[in-house]
Structure 1
Amino acid sequence: MTFPRRVVIGADTHLDTIHLAAISDTGQPLGDAEFRTNPTGYWAAICWARSFGEVVTVGVEGTSSYGAGLTQAMQANDIHVVEVNRPDRSARRRQGKSDPLDAYSAARAVLAGHGLAVAKDPHTGALKALLIARRGAIKARTAAIQQIKDLLVTAPVDLRERYRRYPTTLRLVEALAGCRPRAHEDPTTVSVLIACKALAQRIGYLERQDRELTAELDALTATINPALRAAYGVGPDTAAQLLITAGTNSHRLRSEAAFAMLAGVAPIPASSGKTSRHRLSRGGDRAANNALHRIVLVRWSHDRRTRDYVARQLAAGRSKNDVLRLLKRAIAREIFRHLTAPCPIDDYSDLRPARQARNITLTAAAAHFNVWPITISRLERGLKRDDTLATNYRQWLNTLLIDAA
């Protein structure tokens, strides 16, 4: 009985073309070919790969960039796809670089099982698109604000003095957006005001875009992983970045330590002589590392448990940088659990009807728990996550109901 030959495929991807190389499961080169990056080219590549035998695995370089189309086409045809790292630099210096060489290198990496990763789910692209658009709007808004300030520095004296009195950037932008440049006679003043008004109106448009895209991110991240979005200090932007880094298919994360290395918060020995210490890895995805850093800063400023922990560590003689590293590592451990084992979150929608049914005001409820009324209001509307406060609040309301009965 003859069994079909088992084949491993490597793919070197580009914007307009992909180059595939086939090797047997024993490492024997079978052939290579180039295809276009369109549906017809992808189907031709699949037929070409299957012509050598049973395709075991396809290793694609850049499954979330130039190789996204090929990856989706392969997966739609029930072909297992993994992501491979780019060829080693030292090997490139020895052997040279070309599309066939890179494709064969990818195939051999798959066969050796070295540096492989599960391809991200295509749904990750939806989050990535929204996040790119939002951050682009924020960057353009910041640039426009700086351009307004630069123009006013060199503007005519009377114009500069008139707009210097606004205490905030928001007030300045509002005033410039509603100004009337043609009411002035000096041509320089008119030109500067026209430019500033255009920039101010652009800022208003970008702010609306920011709000709309943030709302879309909020809804999408809450749908994909409500537990992650509900974690303290995790906003729409932060949740989206963590989901993009990890991928919406959480099984691609092998372990909590692997996620820590991916996010650049794995402890690395940094000892020398009598000094024994660790530092955090400077590798990994720096955007994910920045997301964890923002969570730490929020909790350091507003979360009581985190502030108590910081106080204990500082009293024990640790520096603020050391405490920051400890917090980032601990939060990475928490985020990994949210990413890999999503759990249902407490629904707060019953709190406000229960309070209103007992004729209790926000002020009275806030006074009982020694918090501001806005805290209770945001909790009832689902704008603030605090499971401990919500549980105590619900128990208190139920107790009042029992006492009234």
Structure 2
Amino acid sequence: MASGVTDGTTDQGVFGGVDSHADTIHVAVISDNGGHLADAEFTTTAAGYAAAVAFVNAHGHVIAIGVEGTASYGAGFTRAAGAAGLDVVEVNRPDRAERRRIGKSDPIDAYAAARAALSGRASSAPKDDTVAGIRALHNAARSAVKARTAALNQITHILVTAPDTIRAKFGQLKGTKRTDALARLRPAGDPVHIAVLTALKSLAQRVRELTAEHTALTKALDNQVTAHNPGLRAAYGVGPDTAAQLLVTAGGNPERLRTEAAFAALCGAAPVPASSGRTNRHRLSRGGDRAANAALYRIALVRMSSDPRTRDYVTRQTDAGRTKKEIIRLLKRAIAREMFRCLTTTVTVPGIADLRPLRQSKNITLTTAARHFGVWPATISTLERGIRRDDDFANTYRDWLTAA
């Protein structure tokens, strides 16, 4: 149902704004000087999107449309508007102070999105659909982990109050040993024992199924991520889940992020000034995409534990008097800079497919190679399989195999 009036002009420049929901979208149109022209509500169907696009076009030459949730509830309208040749920009939700001042309703939010497009406050291009498959696999894998964790917690809680014989038998077991033992149960005894054992067996079987499901999803996710951006996946400390999260955060068109500083701010890794008086320092950012921030944090932890260059850096910063929290902030900022390069440029990944055949042709075991370099055999194995990237070590290893 539309509201507002128009002046009958069809060649004036106008801006659109969209407040998106699961079942409906509310579209508002303003003139290029900020005057309200009209607003209307449409359904989230192909016909509704087409009608919404026609509604905006009917008021003049559309300069840009600001859309809330271009990668979620507004994705359908974003695709329809893009197919119609309209320029769509992504709009962040209004801050709380503004909402307290002007209130909240669908028309208010739609007009606010239009004004954001007009003022230039909203200027980011929406994410495209090339990472939609990665996003779906990533969400499914994450949900499998959450469900498995919930089942494991339930097993622990049941064992706390279980009859003494059950608690004594299974309470001391840990990890997969306990899960496997419970999954093989044949409930017997009095009704209480049968009920408790049946519940434990069901939960244990659920854990095993979810583990297998997560393994399969992670493998599929790894294949998708590696095919989409091999350089990102090959970076030190970047696993399938971490790479997927960064791709989802940046979108399939990371050029929409104009600078690496913008990407760092998006990930909540940009340093925030926290100086006062004689104190001159920065603190960790509390804003941005927290899932992306967590991905950078995991990369930092991996590198702090096993990357020699990062460990040397941590030692130098510790000697300089910085706290662990400050060092992690610095690392996350540097990692964000590296991840931005991987996301926005083509990174050539040196081939490692020749390493294992070369070692086997010389009849050299993993243990012998690992002993020569003073590392664990697993380090050599992960390097040969492409699970871990270390270009310098790979070249040194190749030279040694060639000369052997």
Task: Classify the secondary structure of the residue corresponding to 1:382.
Answer: coil
Is 2:95 aligned against 1:93?
A: no
- Aligned match of 1:80: 87
Letter in 1 for 2:180: E
Is 2:134 aligned against 1:127?
A: yes
Task: Classify the secondary structure of the residue corresponding to 2:65.
Answer: strand
Equivalent position to 2:185, from 169, 179, 185: 179
- The answer (yes or no) to whether the contact 1:85–1:116 under 8 Å persists in 2 is no
Task: Classify the secondary structure of the residue corresponding to 1:123.
Answer: helix
- Aligned match of 1:61: 68
Cα distance, 1:142 vs structure 2: 1.1
* 1:162-311 superposed matches below 5 A: 162-166=169-173, 168-181=174-187, 184-311=188-315
Using a 3 Å threshold, how does the CA distance of structure 1 residues 278 and 27 change in structure 2: closer, same or farther?
A: same
Cα distance, 1:205 vs structure 2: 0.8
Cα distance, 1:237 vs structure 2: 0.7
Name the stretch that deviates more: 38-47 or 120-129. Answer: 120-129
Equivalent position to 1:326, from 310, 330, 340: 330
RMSD, aligned α-carbons: 1.9
TM-score by length of 1: 0.93
CA distance in 1 between counterparts of 2:360 and 2:164 reads: 59
Equivalent position to 2:360, from 356, 360, 363: 356
CA distance in 1 between counterparts of 2:76 and 2:24 reads: 11
Residues 265-298 of structure 1: CA deviation (Å, up to 9, x unaligned): 1111212232221112111111111111111111
CA distance in 2 between counterparts of 1:81 and 1:187 reads: 63
Letter in 2 for 1:158: T
Name the stretch that deviates more: 202-211 or 391-400. Answer: 391-400
Residues 325-382 of structure 1: CA deviation (Å, up to 9, x unaligned): 2211111111111111131211100122233344444344334333333322322222
- The answer (yes or no) to whether the contact 2:10–2:60 under 8 Å persists in 1 is no
CA distance in 1 between counterparts of 2:320 and 2:37 reads: 63
CA distance in 2 between counterparts of 1:170 and 1:88 reads: 47
Is 2:107 aligned against 1:103?
A: no
Equivalent position to 2:394, from 378, 383, 390: 390
- Aligned match of 2:19: 12
- Aligned match of 1:21: 28
Residues 121-172 of structure 1: CA deviation (Å, up to 9, x unaligned): 1233322221221111111111111111211221111122121342x22111
Cα distance, 1:37 vs structure 2: 0.5
Gaps of 5+ in 2: 1-8
Is 2:40 aligned against 1:40?
A: no
Is 2:353 aligned against 1:346?
A: no
Letter in 1 for 2:41: E
Using a 3 Å threshold, how does the CA distance of structure 1 residues 82 and 201 change in structure 2: closer, same or farther?
A: same
Task: Classify the secondary structure of the residue corresponding to 2:124.
Answer: strand
TM-score by length of 2: 0.93
* 1:151-166 superposed matches below 5 A: 151-166=158-173
Using a 3 Å threshold, how does the CA distance of structure 1 residues 272 and 160 change in structure 2: closer, same or farther?
A: same
Residues 102-132 of structure 1: CA deviation (Å, up to 9, x unaligned): 2122111111101432211123332222122
- The answer (yes or no) to whether the contact 2:49–2:77 under 8 Å persists in 1 is yes
Using a 3 Å threshold, how does the CA distance of structure 1 residues 316 and 102 change in structure 2: closer, same or farther?
A: closer
CA distance in 2 between counterparts of 1:131 and 1:230 reads: 18
Fraction of identical pairs, as percent: 57
- Aligned match of 1:146: 153
Letter in 2 for 1:142: T
Task: Classify the secondary structure of the residue corresponding to 1:248.
Answer: coil
CA distance in 2 between counterparts of 1:325 and 1:165 reads: 40
Name the stretch that deviates more: 211-220 or 363-372. Answer: 363-372
- The answer (yes or no) to whether the contact 2:10–2:58 under 8 Å persists in 1 is no
CA distance in 2 between counterparts of 1:395 and 1:32 reads: 69
How many correspondences in the alignment? 396
Task: Classify the secondary structure of the residue corresponding to 1:139.
Answer: helix
- The answer (yes or no) to whether the contact 1:10–1:22 under 8 Å persists in 2 is yes
CA distance in 2 between counterparts of 1:131 and 1:257 reads: 26
- Aligned match of 2:6: none
- The answer (yes or no) to whether the contact 1:72–1:122 under 8 Å persists in 2 is no
Letter in 1 for 2:13: R
Residues 156-201 of structure 1: CA deviation (Å, up to 9, x unaligned): 11122121342x22111111100100xx331111110011001111
CA distance in 1 between counterparts of 2:52 and 2:335 reads: 43
CA distance in 2 between counterparts of 1:351 and 1:80 reads: 49
Cα distance, 1:15 vs structure 2: 1.3
CA distance in 2 between counterparts of 1:78 and 1:250 reads: 21
CA distance in 1 between counterparts of 2:212 and 2:294 reads: 25
- Aligned match of 1:403: none
Residues 80-118 of structure 1: CA deviation (Å, up to 9, x unaligned): 111112234344334333222221221111111014322
Gaps of 5+ in 1: 401-405
Task: Classify the secondary structure of the residue corresponding to 2:146.
Answer: helix
Name the stretch that deviates more: 376-385 or 281-290. Answer: 376-385
CA distance in 1 between counterparts of 2:10 and 2:193 reads: 83
Residues 179-235 of structure 1: CA deviation (Å, up to 9, x unaligned): 100xx3311111100110011111111101110111111111111111111111111
CA distance in 2 between counterparts of 1:115 and 1:80 reads: 12
